[in-house]
Amino acid sequence: MTEVLLGIDIGTSGCKALVLDLDGTPIASATATYPLARPRPGWTEQDPALWVEGARKAVAEALAASGRTQIRCIGLSGQMHGLVALDEGHRVLRPALLWNDQRNGAECAEITERAGGLEALLAATNNRMLIGYTGGKIVWMRENEPELFARMTCMLNPKDYLRLVLSGEVATEVSDASGTGLFDTRRRQWARELTERIGLDPALLPPCHESSVISARVSASAARLFGLPEGTPIAGGGGDSVIQTIGSGVIAPGELQTTIGTAGILAAALDKPVDNPDGRLQIFCNVAPEKWHCMGVSLNAGGAMSWLRETLWPDDEPAFEAIVEEAAASPTGARGLLFLPYLYGERCPHPDPSARAAFVGLTARHGRPDMARSVMEGVAYAFADMHRLMAPLGMDSGLIKASGGGARAPLWRQMQADLFGCDVVTTQGAAEGAAYGAALVAGVGIGVWPDAQTAAACCRPLTRERPDAATGERMRAMLSVYRSLYPALIASFDALAALDTQA
């Protein structure tokens, strides 16, 4: 019987379960999908029951495919910033508000004001209260759903709700807590004074541990529901955007990671919590103790490709690879066509829920291949925009480790290599996403590896794209135009957003 680790990731569109041997090699994985609700423009919600059912299906399928195994530990990951509101009996009060929900702009401004302004907020947390963060959602619920809010006794993020179902334990860990906007990331503890200043009871916030701490064990009821051995230890895990860095082997300063999932993330590890001058970046606690995590997050990456497929291929909706093949038929620069990927507003480098997506430069000679390529290039330009903020803080590199579903496209990796002028590699396990990082953290939790740095060494390079100087020059010329567009269109975005709410 093979001893294994189990990583479970509660994603936006589905749950992934991954079985990993104790050498860090994936044995089997499975994904169960579920829908996303958009009840109003800018709102995104999910019923947490979908995550539980998705996890049950994915775990059963992955374990069935892995043969005779003994699960040593379970690691959890999930979409960050979501609000799961629970009552005294730990029952869900309403559908969860997700990371890309844009409804709480006024509440985020209120939190910043009550904190004493942006400078005081950054002093407390080292992060802005960005739209989408959990803290703004809690205040939105207080202001807009007072009867439900009065019944709320605890909030959890998505992966921590799964921990509750698996074990009956209410807990979180430092990386997901960082993404609430209510966490002192420098001191790795809840910012209680800030929480009280904005009128929230600190008791709403769950106990918080370091990510590799064994924070729960599988209960008897969950053992029956999930087909897992009762008493199996559960590590704290991590928010998907953070834990994916260890899943790509990014743990030492000087390396960058790009993740193309629904969102697009540019991230780096830090040995200290550097100051975040204007709060446009996100500086969180790393899943490794005494390390921190810097990232920029664009709300639109793989989600833009999904939108493109649904819009331009409404009848057959081809596979991702087929769209990439069409994009490859268009030259670098997509014949002068640019795509601003702000389909859900934007977070970094422009924290603006009113931002709108746009094709700029569209002419009658452009076709689907050009539009597909411009969408892919637009995501790469968003990475470059974020890196312009990170570089002055010392986060530069001659190497990018690509991850997420988009990393399986060599064309997307090559775009990054050309634009950044450095090699882009994929690593073992990175294609498995946050579930791989979750399994590694579980291994650290029970001593399979002595620390996160040793676990990260499992992430051996698999592919490598090298930069082409001429192509990079062309892309950087397009990037210059791309960067001029958002400032020129801010007023138009705001006007269109206002008209949209009147419709």
Consecutive H or E run containing 111? helix 105-115
Consecutive H or E run containing 175? helix 174-178
Give the amino acid at 152. M
> Which DSSP state fits 5?
E
- CA 402, 408, 411, 414: dihedral to nearest 10 degrees? 20
Partners of residue 253 on adjacent β-strands: none
Picking from 69, 52, 10, the residue whose alpha carbon sits closest to that of residue 166 is 52
| Burial zone of 151 (CB within 10 Å; 0-12 exposed, 13-18 middle, 19+ buried) | middle
Q: What is the DSSP string of 325-361?
A: HHHHTSPTTTTT-EEE--BTBB-SS--BTT---EEES
80 is in an annotated binding site: yes
| CA atoms of 310 and 317, how far apart (whole Å) | 6
Consecutive H or E run containing 195? helix 192-197
| CA atoms of 263 and 347, how far apart (whole Å) | 10
User: What's the chain's Rg over C-alpha atoms?
Assistant: 22
Q: Work out the number of other CB atoms within 10 angstroms of the CB of residue 1.
A: 7
Q: Work out the number of other CB atoms within 10 angstroms of the CB of residue 274.
A: 16
**Residues shown for the chain:** 503
| Cα-based angle 200, 204, 207 (whole degrees, multiple of 5) | 130
At residue 2, the 3 state secondary structure works out as: strand
From the candidates 240, 352, 418, 423, give the one annotated as an active-site residue: 240
| Residue whose token pair is 């903020």 | 389
| The two three-digit tokens of residue 408, written as one number | 């399986």
Q: Does residue 331 have a cis peptide bond before it, meaning omega lies within 30 degrees of 0?
A: no
| CA atoms of 293 and 9, how far apart (whole Å) | 19
| CA atoms of 221 and 223, how far apart (whole Å) | 5
| CA atoms of 402 and 391, how far apart (whole Å) | 18
| The two three-digit tokens of residue 90, written as one number | 């730990």
Picking from 386, 421, 92, the residue whose alpha carbon sits closest to that of residue 260 is 386
Q: Is 240 a catalytic residue?
A: yes
Annotated catalytic residues are: 240
Numbered residues of the known binding site for substrate: 80-81
